[in-house]
Amino acid sequence: MPRGITPRRPARSGRQDRVGKVVVQKPEARIASSRTGGAKTQATPKAKKKSSYDPLAPDRIAEILRCLEQLYPGATCALTHKTAWELLVATILSAQSTDVNVNRVTPELFRKYPTVEAFAALTPEQLEPDIRSTGFFRNKSKSVVGAAKKIVADFGGQVPQNMADLLTLPGVARKTANVVLGTWFKIAEGVVVDTHVQRISRRLELTTNSEPQKIEQDLMRVIPREKWILFSHQIIWHGRKLCIARKPKCVDCPLENVCHAGDKTWSTVDLHKDAVG
Ligand code: SF4
């Protein structure tokens, strides 16, 4: 039996009807169709309906945002920090690691080196043992020490508050800059695109791209600017809690009725094979 068409519980009332504009084929009809080799499929109406589907329709985007708000109200960054500099360091360390892992390392790290000037006085080799457990520690040491030196030399010891200056720091690309600008300075300059945002944006058909920069541009077009900061955090939490990479918990997901991801584990709506994380 094809994946994703077995109704293990009744659809929630109302919401599924709206999605029905796309294609809602009853499971019995699909089963009959597969048994007859597709001879009795309803190909014509299916094609017509599918062409009217717009994954970026404002009411669909609003429903996604509503569900995220319900699931993760006030979501924020999970990296422990007390200053913009600490958040910058923690974000650099979080690459290819988990926030939990970084949070294990940073309290002692910031106790040992309490200021950006203290980091700037180090060599990368001196820092390596302290951040080893976060992985890729040689590159991360170079980035953190390099960023500290540049902040002290060029920005008066203050983390810059704009994208252009942040991008001049070693080891800082748009994702890290957006985390610092959004979380610490509350400046919505872009959308944080990490691995969760990449995966879920594709599953929800908010983008067809796979490059972070293009995904960010797509999200900036469809998500209202005042939601950019919160949306990133909500999607990251969703990626941790429900929409996990290998086996999303679709049966528990309130977004299920508006999600046509081709790699869903359970579905009341048709799957779109290209919408995979
Ligand atoms: S229904 Fe499944 S794939 Fe879609 S957003 Fe929810 S958990 Fe992710």
Region 249-265: mean pLDDT is 97
- Say yes or no: CB of residue 235 within 6 Å of ligand 1: no
Taking the C-alpha atoms of residue 215 and residue 9, their distance in angstroms, rounded to an integer, is 34
CB of 148 shorter than 6 A to ligand 1:
no
Kindly tell me if the per-residue pLDDT of 7 is higher than 80: no
Of 130, 138, 74, the residue nearest 107 (C-alpha): 130
Q: Is 175 a catalytic residue?
A: yes
- Active-site hit among 194, 218, 263, 270: 194
Instruction: For residue 28, give both structure tokens.
Output: 């019995």
**Residue where the block lists tokens 């797509």:** 218
pLDDT of residue 10: 41
Provide the pLDDT for residue 34: 40
For residue range 121-163, list pLDDT tens digits in order: 999 999 999 999 999 999 999 999 999 999 999 999 999 999 9
Give the residue, 7 or 31, on which the prediction is more confident. Answer: 7
